[in-house]
Amino acid sequence: MRRWLLAFIVLAAVLVLIAGCGGGSETAAPGENATPGGPVGQSEATACAANRKLISGAVQQYYAMEGTYPKSIQQLVPKCLQSVPACPAGGVYNLKGTAVTCSVHGS
């Protein structure tokens, strides 16, 4: 009886492990839009936030060098940025005063 119980517990644990792994092929193919709440969407949002922070730092650097704020992000190139970073979700960065926004992820 103990062997059957042990075998049942091991089998149940294996089934729970397999079910928890997913096994589905629901990941987005390259070029497809990922689910905003999914892991790819979260990674894109995190990378976009880092890009906006980088651009904001460049805006402050531009102000320190020029004494005035830039009117567009393009003014930061090449003095403060080598190039304008691209949003991983395909958004466009805009400068509104000193705030950097993304057309996809906001501010």
What pLDDT, on a 0 to 100 scale, did the predictor assign at position 26? 46
Residues in the chain with pLDDT < 50? Answer: 23-34
Backbone angles phi, psi at 26, to 5 degrees: -100, 15
Instruction: Sketch out the chain's domains with CATH numbers.
Output: 39-107 (3.30.1300.80)
Strands 99-102 and 93-96: antiparallel
What is this structure's pTM?
Answer: 0.65
- State whether residue 10 is helix, strand or coil: helix
What pLDDT, on a 0 to 100 scale, did the predictor assign at position 107? 83
What pLDDT, on a 0 to 100 scale, did the predictor assign at position 81? 92
